[in-house]
Amino acid sequence: MTGHSRDELRGRQAASVLSETGDGTGVIHAKNGDAIAVRLRCADTPHGKVAAFAPVPRIDQIEQLKNELVGTVSHELKTPLAAIKAYTATLRDNPALYEDRRTEYLAIVEEQADRLSRLIEDLLLVTRVEGPQLLRRRIAVGLNEVIERAMAGVRLDPALHHIERPARNVMLSGDPDRLCDVFRNLLENAAKYSPDGGPIEIRAKETADRVVVEIADRGAGISKDDLPYIFDRFYRADSDLTRKTGGSGLGLSIVQALVRAHGGTVEARGRAGGGTVFAVTLPVRA
Ligand code: ADP
């Protein structure tokens, strides 16, 4: 980033290439005279001072992201709102509707309102994902507890989906709220992308320093062409199913950012016989 070679830097004062500007930010003074804005974290260690930094996204990248966000979000807001308006108008204008019709229309209104609130939750998370305060605390928490909480936020049709929980309650280390976001998103996708139903299996494997939690569904699967991109922001596979289900394409990018903030990884793979497996690997200790 500085444009200097290692030898040019050796023996120089750190402050000649990197200065702190406060509030977790700093500036790199590059060899060619450029001042590069960075996010900066410093720590004192027994061996000296350690500074970790990353470039702050450039304005044009932020501008592009903003445009993408506004485009996707306005589409995703309009669709459920249009349905809510249409069904409430029908209910208002037809007081004599049969009871079962009224119930059906109200269920649609509720479902679309849920879709809106999930989108808003995702948007709030995505703004936080970039900030330094992503993980508020890091404690030991049982996987089963996280899964129970995550499940409370997922709408499942028991006639279609049956959740198989891990046999043993393994311990995870992390921010329970954010881990809950991770598994809520993965479970929601497992249900959403298996419209014909099928079991959703949650498996946990422990090694000395890691826990691997797998969420496996028997759904539509992800094509080889889409697999490399599904964790990208706004990426959605181009299929009838994704068009029908709706979504912002933000969920998996949030999952990945949260898992990485914990020092872990997340991967997706296809399943013999159809379906998808998401494997979340987390360190056992912070
Ligand atoms: P969204 O669900 O809002 O589209 P995500 O970021 O959660 O966004 O997922 C990105 C894409 O990955 C989805 O549009 C879908 O094509 C694919 N996908 C995610 N989870 C699954 C799954 N369990 N089975 C099949 N496809 C999936």
How high is the pLDDT of residue 252? 95
Residue 174 CA to residue 262 CA, distance in Å, equals 6
What global pTM score does this model have? 0.73
Secondary structure class of 209 (helix, strand, coil) = coil
Asked if residue 122 lies in contact with residue 69, where contact means CB atoms within 8 angstroms, the answer is no
β strands within the chain, DSSP E: 18-22, 25-29, 35-45, 48-55, 139-142, 161-164, 171-174, 198-206, 210-216, 265-270, 276-283
Cβ-in-10-Å burial (0-12, 13-18, 19+) of 76 comes to: buried
Secondary structure class of 257 (helix, strand, coil) = helix
Q: Which residues line ligand 1 (CB under 6 A)?
A: 189-190, 193, 217, 219-222, 230, 235-237, 242, 247-253, 276
Q: What is the mean predicted confidence (pLDDT) over 103-132?
A: 83
Q: How far is CA 161 from CA 111, 148, 164, 201, 222, in A?
A: 17, 15, 10, 10, 19
Res 52 pLDDT > 60:
yes
State in Å: Cα 137 to ligand 1 middle.
Answer: 28
How high is the pLDDT of residue 133? 67
Asked if residue 46 lies in contact with residue 52, where contact means CB atoms within 8 angstroms, the answer is no
The protein residue whose alpha carbon is closest to atom 2 in ligand 1 is 247
Confidence of residue 174 (pLDDT cuts 50, 70, 90): very high
User: How many alpha carbons fall within 13 Å on the CB side of residue 242?
Assistant: 14
Residue 60 CA to residue 50 CA, distance in Å, equals 30
State in Å: Cα 249 to ligand 1 middle.
Answer: 7
How high is the pLDDT of residue 132? 56
Measured in whole angstroms, the distance separating CA 226 from the mean position of its chain's CA atoms is 17
Question: Tokens at residue 219, please?
Answer: 């759904």
**Residue 48's beta-bridge partner residues?**
45
248 CA closest ligand 1 atom index: 3
249 CA closest ligand 1 atom index: 8
How high is the pLDDT of residue 188? 93
Work out whether strand 35-45 and strand 48-55 pair parallel, antiparallel, or are unpaired. antiparallel
Per-residue pLDDT tens digits for 85-103: 999 999 999 999 899 999 9
Question: Tokens at residue 3, please?
Answer: 């444009």
Cβ-in-10-Å burial (0-12, 13-18, 19+) of 83 comes to: middle
Confidence of residue 267 (pLDDT cuts 50, 70, 90): very high
Q: Edge-to-edge strand order for the sheet containing 35-45?
A: 18-22, 25-29, 35-45, 48-55
The protein residue whose alpha carbon is closest to atom 21 in ligand 1 is 189
Confidence of residue 151 (pLDDT cuts 50, 70, 90): very high
Share of the chain above pLDDT 70, in %: 98
Residue 135 CA to residue 155 CA, distance in Å, equals 26
Q: How far is CA 220 from CA 168, 236, 268, in A?
A: 28, 14, 13
